[in-house]
Amino acid sequence: MSEIGRRNAAPVLRIRVPWFDNSDIIRSLGKTLIGRVMNPEMQNVGSLVTLMPKIWKLDDDRVTGSDLGLGRFRFDFKREEDIFQVLETETFTFNEWMVSIVRWEPVVRRDYPSEINFWVRIVGVPEDLWEDRIFRRIGDEIGTVREVDEVNAMVKVSIDGTKPLCFEIPVRFEIEEVDVIVKMEYEKLFGYCETCFSLRHDKDSCPESDSCEDGEEEDDLN
């Protein structure tokens, strides 16, 4: 990445765009979902924007998909109720890897969108401590908790798909003076690296395994 920057010696031009009234554009984006594939090598965005409307059974012109480049895409809907119907079907995957799909928001962050909502089963909490606030506290460590189902020890969490998944956390339950390794089971999870738990590559392309093979491990890790 940095190499490209070095090769490209042309001076960077800064373009100044004067203020203009974009409220009509913003209004039209009210029925837009925006998304990103997590593993562009395995997920062709052109195929995704063609196939997703068929999967959603909205291929009769009710939604139009566009490839935005760099792994991003958008879907413009005609009807609000179709958006709700689609969002009900989360968590999203394509070609066996994860996809982030969110309602459009005026965000200029470079990695937007990267949010993925998962239902996560939390395994290992003693049954007599199954309470909303315990699951919420654990869920907060892996993302932003949206819902808690304490009957089934599950939390719905928005995670940042650009960060590695967390599969276990040591928890100290002071009330019973026990330390437990609590495990997370993600529903509808496809495609992640078994070495570093990233959603963006498989273990054969893992930068962490490369560095091990090249003998570049840092001394303080030994």
| End-to-end Cα spacing for the chain | 30
Q: Read off φ and ψ for residue 205, nearest 5 degrees.
A: -105, 15
Nearer to Zn ion, 95 or 195 (CB): 195
Q: Which residues lie near Zn ion (CB under 5 A)?
A: 193, 195-196, 198, 206
Work out how close the CB of 161 gets to Zn ion at its nearest, in angstroms, rounded to a whole number. 14
- CA separation for the pair 129, 150 (Å, rounded): 10
Work out how close the CB of 168 gets to Zn ion at its nearest, in angstroms, rounded to a whole number. 17
DSSP class of residue 128 equals G
Cβ neighbours of residue 43 closer than 8 Å, sequence gap 6 or more: 37, 71, 94, 95, 97, 99
Nearer to Zn ion, 41 or 147 (CB): 41
Nearer to Zn ion, 130 or 167 (CB): 167
Work out how close the CB of 1 gets to Zn ion at its nearest, in angstroms, rounded to a whole number. 17
Q: Are 142 and 184 in contact (CB under 8 A)?
A: yes
Nearer to Zn ion, 34 or 193 (CB): 193
Work out how close the CB of 208 gets to Zn ion at its nearest, in angstroms, rounded to a whole number. 5
